[in-house]
Structure 1
Amino acid sequence: MDAVGVLEDGFSRIKELVHGVVEGMSEDELAARIEDGANSIAWLVWHLTRIQDDHVADVAGREQIWVSGGWADKFELPFDLYDTGYGHGPAQVAAVTADARKLRGYYDAVHRETVSYVRGLSPEDLDKVVDTSWDPPVTLSVRLVSVMSDDLQHAGQAAYARGILLRR
């Protein structure tokens, strides 16, 4: 399998995790937190989707699905339009409520765009520098793997929270 195929496979695994985490959960369960100050499943899934949307839109040179797909209007969150959840405290986490269908819908829209973008890449594209504010500068492959890593960590946290909530 080539590098583009590996990236596509990685992003598909995130989709499977996201679907598995939200499947069968009520909006109240998705918004519940396993303890004060913890992130809810809804926030974790929304945030990982926002990060993927933000970062892939940036390297692809397109508008975020959050905006172009009308998802900001559908979620009606009290945040800046381009807020991704980075640095959110307990009050902002609590503000993210959504049912499983909405969380899945937004994630699936971002996933489709991500996979479409990745499928159009060549091995040479992956070596292009996309961010010079780091030392060493960040290549496209490093940025995409970073997004996958972040998303997988948050999806794992959401799965862990689900397990705890369903055992209560």
Structure 2
Amino acid sequence: MKANELLLDAFGRIHEAVGATLRGIDAGALGRRPEGNGNSIVWLVWHLGRGEDAQVASAAGLAQVWTSQGFAARFDLPLAVTDTGYGHSSDQVDAVQAPAELLIAYYDAVHRQTVGFLESLGDEDLDRVVDTRWNPPVTLGVRLVSIAADCLQHVGQAAYAKGLNSGR
């Protein structure tokens, strides 16, 4: 198995988990914040999509799906178009609202771009340095694993929050 095939499998699992989490969810559960101050499902899925979109696009030299495919306008959030959710305040978490269908459409588009990029990679590409701000510098392979880990964490949180909502 080639390294990009492993990455394709990992990102495919994220895509499946996002779909399963958003399938059949109602608007109330989507926006409900656990304990009133945890991150809502809508924020978690939007944030993981924005994180994957921004970081993969940067590493691949591509435009972000968020802007290039008009999702920033479709979501119409009261946030900077470059915002990915890192360091959000409670008010900013509340500001992220969208229906499940729009979240799915956005993440599907992000996933398609990620898959296209991953399919183009050879094992030697994963050693390319993409960030010199760290010691040691971050390679493409390390960055992609980091993105996958972050996304898996957030979709797991969203699935957990969905489970909490089902008991109400």
- State whether TM-score is above 0.5: yes
1:52-89 C-alpha deviation (Å, 9 max, x unpaired): 00000001111100000100000000011110000001
Answer whether contact 1:21 1:159 (CA < 8 A) is retained. Answer: yes
Aligned mates of 1:69, 1:42 — CA distance in 2: 20
Q: Runs of 5+ in structure 2 lacking a partner?
A: none
Greater CA drift, 34-43 or 107-116: 34-43
Give 1:131's aligned amino acid.
D
The runs of at least 4 consecutive aligned structure 1 residues that moved more than 3 Å come to none
Aligned mates of 1:76, 1:109 — CA distance in 2: 17
Give 2:101's aligned amino acid.
R
TM-score (norm 1): 0.98
Q: Which residue of 1 aligns with 2:119?
A: 119
Answer whether contact 1:50 1:66 (CA < 8 A) is retained. Answer: yes
SS in 1 for 2:79: coil
Q: Which residue of 1 aligns with 2:8?
A: 8
Q: Runs of 5+ in structure 1 lacking a partner?
A: none
Deviation at 1:36, TM superposition (A): 2.2
Deviation at 1:161, TM superposition (A): 0.3
Percent identical pairs in the alignment equals 54
* Number of residue equivalences: 168
User: Considering only aligned residues, what root-mean-square deviation do their CA atoms show, in Å?
Assistant: 0.6
Aligned mates of 1:55, 1:26 — CA distance in 2: 30
Q: Which residue of 1 aligns with 2:75?
A: 75
TM-score (norm 2): 0.98
Give 2:133's aligned amino acid.
S
Give 1:83's aligned amino acid.
D
